[in-house]
A and B are shown apart, each in its own frame.
Chain A
Amino acid sequence: MDRAENYWKGSRTRRISRRSALGLMGAGTLAAWLAACGGADKGSSSGSAPAPSTSANAAPTQLAAAQGTVTAFQTGNTGGKFKLGVTLEPGTLDTAIPLSGGDTVFLSTMYNPLVTIDHFVPNPQLSLAQKWEIVDPTTITFTIRPGVKFHDGTDFDAESVKWNFTRILDPATKSAARSNLIDIDRVEAVDKSTAKFILKSPNATLLTAIGTVYGAGMASRTAVEKWGKEFTSHPVGTGPFVFDQWVPGSHVTVKRNPNYWEKDSAGKALPYLDEVTIQAIPDDTVRFANLQTGDIHYAALNQKDWAAGDKHSDLTMIKGLPGIPVNSVLVFNLDKPPADNLNLRKAMAFALDPSVATKNVYFGYADVIKGGMRQPGSWAYSETPGRPAYDVAKAKEFLAAAGVPNGLNLDVITYTSPQINQQTEIYQEQWAKVGINAKITTQDVTTSTDSFFVKGLFPVFSTSWGTTYFEPNGAASYIYSKDAYYNPMHRAITPELEDLVVKGRQTYNLDERKKIYDRIDQIVLVEQCYYIPLIYSTGRGYFRKNVGNADIFTWFAANRMQSLFLK
């Protein structure tokens, strides 16, 4: 049993206070992100599952005190220049308006949110807030850490919190975080060190939505007002590194913030590194080549390079959490024939055997999903109700029940990606065996997402997803609800499902919540056969061996680059 499993077991048996329960339940950073990923960018996320390297196997402090500060695992040497390779260059360096999940790695070097998410312990941890208090279900107060300054020398205080959240919640800002924070009615600065959040309705996921730099990092008001829309390339936060240079199409460089507020467990100032350069290297092979030659210290690799990465004597592999990413998912548009017929949707779902793709497309580095969009190992995970599992006889039965025993023609849309294309062709062949003649249309990721989710042009989308959600509200709010960006019908799927989505968000008791999400999966997977996840994997990141504290680096949420050091 690895440490990640230990953690999950521990968290499920621990007595959970209301406060930590709120945190635990609210651990929706990934959810927030993923949805926001597409929300701002007309759906770039649904396609390109980010290559994550969340390190599950290294819970450093296990469940730190509910309001502890995450500290470095090992005291490191100060100095050194760290380079990492990512797939995408940033869309913006303004923390309020990230355009894709990939922006987070850049933002987390320069900004801090009020609370941060310790990824191994999906609880909010203290960051710029020194304490939080749930006054009542619709009021949270944050005590602000004293003495923190923005990189431009201005003070960070409760007024800054109020100003930042007012900016994020202003529709004109087009903040990606807004949809996750929409339950915030207003923020008041009670005094210099106390910010009071007043909610419109209880929200069990709110604390973690606040705990991400993906849209909710704290920016300097002075700098935002000085640079206007050019703040996007003149970022000023309170984070461990200060912006130095952005060469579009190439890299972003940040330098050590000598006045950073955080210290490690030995009292040594963080960050350790003098400089971090994040290079956008879109080609998987070239990114791996850079890692092998030592030109970069870290990269998330594609499955095809995992075997070589594991064998490489200079590299350390960091495993992510299971269920990130979801490599294959089938989404139906319930208003578009033939997917408007439940029997036909079921026939299409039962006809597929994703294990063929896990072996042939992912070299065995992927697993077949048995249940719905709930992360394996998380408190909410359940394989029952299960998704329609491969059964040719049943597929034929449903075709007959729909009155088309000899099959039908089907338009399937997918997006340009070698793996997605290969698995969709495998599905095409499997559908053909039951008489479903599928014609595949391939578009680039943005266009296909727009064609399917926004314009509703196709009955079926064979796509991928960034994550199963360890906060199940993620899928509920971003895929199932009538307001969800990724609901191609833009209407309630059933009134009951709509009610359950809201109830799931507002319920504080874990057992009750789990039952709600069991029922949601029953509707989504079985009764409506709307959104069928098929394959997931566990992402991997690879570090050079001279990087210290690599095992507490997390790709998602808080990247903790302040804790990395070079040996």
Chain B
Amino acid sequence: MFAYLVRRLLQFIPVLIGVTFLVFSLTLLLPGDPVASLLGLSEGQAQVDAEMVQRYRHELGLDQPVPVQYGMWLGRAVRGDFGDSIKTRRPVADEILPRLKVTAQVSVAALIVSLLIALPAGVAGAVWRNSWLDRLITMLAVAAVAVPSFWLAIMMILLFAVQWQVLPPSGFVSPFDDPVRGLKLMVMPVLILGWEGAAVLTRQTRSAMLEVLSQDYVRTARAKGLAGRRVIWVHALKNAMLPIITILGLRIGLLLGGSAIVETIFTIPGIGRLLVSSISTRDFPVIQALVLVIGLSTVVASLLTDIAYALLDPRIRYR
């Protein structure tokens, strides 16, 4: 296991370098003068403030060869220095970190909801294949993929907040600061994100379970008199978990990138909402840092997925 971990971590390094280089190269792809874009200046303004642009170019090392530029950028990025937001003039890291915490809280909760829905539903769909329950689950899963989250969000707000007045319509308070209000505010966005994720997971769980349930060892387990529940939840599900974990890993990466739509509608100050507002104001330093954060979260999620594979399946760690 240890050797596998080390090997996997070593493989992680080139991926990391690749991601950071791609993010860095966004600067090279910027139309016009990248310094002007980084400073939020139009071409005309950049000409007027030529001296400042030149000074900034030198400070950022953008007058150096590309590999040197990358090295300097990486050095700053590792220290969390992504420059200042063009919009707010505050350090980019100060803009992103508090929002990352918010997105992480919502994401973890959404993931838990996804699993709580998907595992029982997927297993039930496989065990009672082609029953009315299976069809209902399939229908709900298709609906979850097909119904746009913005519509669902608005409908839920109108029903639960305006009509029945059981939940507050929007906003975010950390459940660690104010558990009651924090959890109430989380219910709708977490259900929407959780349901959305559950749809894919349910389908994956169902098909993986169907495959496993038809295998000999399951029949053997039943034949030797093990309880049905134990066969399904312990013997079968464990072996069906690999594809489920793959989807789960992708989902973690996706959720940590923040859901732009759900965060915007529910006014959750997460990184998805920050990304949308940064793009609309062309706040390049923030966009660059966010792309890096989202890229890294995907890479880390896939690393964790691989580690989970090894834990679940000994064949992988001995390969």
Contacts and interface: CB of A to CB of B under 8 A. Distances in A.
A227 to B, nearest CB: 11
Interface string A243-258: 0000111110000000
A247 B172 CA distance: 10
A99 B86 CA distance: 10
Contacts of B171: 250-251, 279, 295
B315 interface: no
Contact of B281 (A44, A283, A292): A44
A92 B169 contact: no
Contacts of B33: none
Contact of A248 (B42, B43, B99, B282): B99
Nearest to B265: A283
A290 B269 contact: no
Contacts of B169: 286, 289-290, 293, 295
Interface string A290-314: 1011010000000000000000000
Nearest to A250: B269
B88 A91 contact: yes
Contacts of B158: 285, 289
Contact of A250 (B87, B165, B265, B267): B267
Interface stretch (A330-338, A442-450, A457-465): A442-450
B79 interface: no
A250 B280 contact: no
Interface in A420-447: 444-447
Question: Looking at chain A's contact residues, is the secondary structure mostly helix, strand, loop, or mixed?
Answer: mixed
Contacts of A97: 89
Interface string A84-121: 00000101100001010000000000000000000000
Contact of A229 (B89, B266, B282): B89
B185 to A, nearest CB: 10
Interface in B182-212: none
Interface residues of A, number: 36
Interface string A226-253: 0001101100000000000001111100
B88 to A, nearest CB: 6
B280 A293 contact: no
B188 to A, nearest CB: 11
Nearest to B165: A293
A388 B280 CA distance: 34
A364 interface: no
A292 B162 contact: yes
B58 to A, nearest CB: 18
B267 A280 contact: yes
A378 to B, nearest CB: 32
A248 B87 CA distance: 12
B246 interface: no
Contacts of B279: 444
Contact of A230 (B44, B90, B267, B269): B90
Contacts of A293: 161-162, 165, 168-169
A290 B282 contact: no
A283 B264 contact: yes
Given A286-B170, A292-B162, A233 B90 contact: yes
Contact of A290 (B87, B90, B170, B268): B170
Q: Which of A249, A279, A281, A292 has the most CB of B within 10 A?
A: A249
Contacts of B44: 454
A250 B95 CA distance: 12
A41 interface: yes
Interface string B171-187: 11000000000000000
A443 B157 CA distance: 30
A99 B90 CA distance: 14
A41 B267 CA distance: 23
A312 to B, nearest CB: 11
B93 interface: no
B170 A289 contact: yes
B116 to A, nearest CB: 27
Interface in B60-111: 84, 87-90, 95, 98-99, 102
A282 interface: yes
A286 B157 contact: yes
Given A229-B84, A249-B267, 15 more contacts: A41-B281, A42-B40, A42-B42, A91-B88, A92-B89, A97-B89, A249-B99, A249-B273, A281-B267, A283-B267, A286-B267, A290-B169, A446-B280, A447-B282, A455-B43
Top 10 A-B pairs ranked by shortest CB distance? A249-B269, A250-B269, A289-B169, A289-B157, A290-B169, A454-B42, A286-B170, A289-B162, A91-B87, A281-B267
